[in-house]
Amino acid sequence: MIASGTKKFPLVEEGIHTAVCNWIIGLGMQHNDKFNTSQLKVLIGWQLLDEEVEVNGEMLPRQISRTFSLSLSEKSLLRPFLKGWRGKDFTPEEINAFPVESLLGKGAQIQVIHNTGTNGTYASVENVLPLPKGVKIPKVETKYFDFDEPATYAVFDSLPKYLRNQIYEAENFCDLGID
């Protein structure tokens, strides 16, 4: 008998998946020990269409996500990622103030690859492209959490424990007033 603190789910298969963005979760100011820096982080999550996973005996929609620094600078990873998804670059006005929550409900083709790290093999969203014209996206339940918008704080308790723990570790978490 082996006890474990985490549940292992089968990896999302490598390849191209049709998905819809259903989570935009602000993770706050996260510290990076490797580079001794802190940056605002955001998690973007997608529900894979026509794929499910069993969780505690219940079949639920399959989910995958990727975390980014919340920056659209030339050197950021988020900017080219969103440029590919949108199929166009950002205007100067959008660079100054792009509402990330506008991605909620947007369809995408996401490329999933498998990487190996210190904790084993994991599935990673490598690229994202817009859906071909005419592809219909169903409405899905969305979750949006933003440190700067108290109206979104009610979502906090419904987030998975690993995300709540990550948010608890944010340097600016104490500013929220969430227990």
pLDDT at residue 2 in the model: 39
Cα 162 from chain centroid (whole Å): 13
Among residues 105, 98, 67, the alpha carbon closest in space to that of 83 is found at 98
pLDDT tens for the chain, 179 residues: list them: 333 445 567 899 999 999 999 999 999 999 988 889 999 999 999 999 989 998 888 999 999 999 999 999 999 999 999 999 999 999 999 999 999 999 999 999 999 999 998 989 999 999 999 999 999 999 999 999 999 999 999 999 999 999 999 999 999 988 777 76
pLDDT at residue 4 in the model: 41
**Four-CA torsion 15, 16, 21, 25, nearest 10 degrees:** 30
pLDDT at residue 33 in the model: 87
Q: Rounded to the nearest 5°, which phi and psi values hold at 92?
A: -55, -35
pLDDT at residue 179 in the model: 64
Q: Are 77 and 71 in contact (CB under 8 A)?
A: no
Cα–Cα distance, 63 to 69 (Å, whole number): 20
Q: What is the pTM of this model?
A: 0.91
Cα–Cα distance, 51 to 79 (Å, whole number): 28
Contacts of 69 (CB under 8 A, 6+ apart): 39, 40, 41, 42, 76, 77, 78
pLDDT at residue 140 in the model: 94
